[in-house]
Structure 1
Amino acid sequence: MGDQISVAEFNHAHNRAREQVRKNAGATIESDQRNLRELAERLPAKNHRWANSLIDDLPKAAIPPPPPGPLFMEASAIQGVAFAAQGTAEEKLAIISDAMRQIWEIAERAPAKEAANIRGLSRVLEHLENELRDPTWPEPPAQGT
């Protein structure tokens, strides 16, 4: 057993292993789990159970996520149009507000498993709306003023 490692170091190694498992459809799960278990032994004892549960779940990373459903795709298209909207701040705010309303209406029609992901599409628009209302960085003055 080597020197103790931090939770952040373990998380970094776990994330790398999870990406590797995704890339190669699970071909390296056994060796990745073995390497992570060796690292987990170097964590503080209070973190061993947690780390081992992550390691045990590593094979799930090889299962590709299901494709998005038609309601998610519909909401995603609405989000994309609103995000790319042109015009004054007021015009953009109106478009964003309408898009968020539509996205939430779509989420209401969606199965529970998909509804949260659909509603999540409105978060990007909410951030954009907040930035339009209260810009982090003010617009520079127009040239020649």
Structure 2
Amino acid sequence: MTSRQRLMFANGIVLGLFAIPSFFMDIRAIFFGAGPLVTALRGEPSSGIGFLEAHGLAAIFALWFLYVGRTQAPPARAWHFTGAAVHTLLGASNIALWHFFIFMDMLALGYVSTAVHIAFAVLQFVVGMRATSHRAAADALRN
């Protein structure tokens, strides 16, 4: 397994460890009125749509990152930039909506998840920039 594959695979594992349990906690709060998210919904279950969408999409990306980390040697540059974009969006959302972590008394989760998003955003971007594109590799082989 190449270092680029390991990065994609680790990205999938870590993102999945945050996203999948969160997705099921969202379902629990929205549809069954139970769990810690109920407080944030303030009696309006439909206000949880953003949580459900964000965590569901993060879980889907996590599965794709796991797949790419296992099957593509080395992963295409686009996958690294996709990883960077996903984590930039999620990390920036955490920062922009930081008051949510304060309101829910979940500052530790906020610090850890935001730091992880920033770390993977930077790592994936740097690796994507250093990776040779398929076109450049093909041109080098022709010359």
State the TM-score bracket (shorter-chain normalisation).
0.3 to 0.5
What TM-score do the two structures reach when normalised by structure 1? Answer: 0.34
Q: Which structure would you say has the larger RCO, counting Cα contacts within 8 Å and 6 or more residues apart?
A: 2
Larger proportion of helix:
2
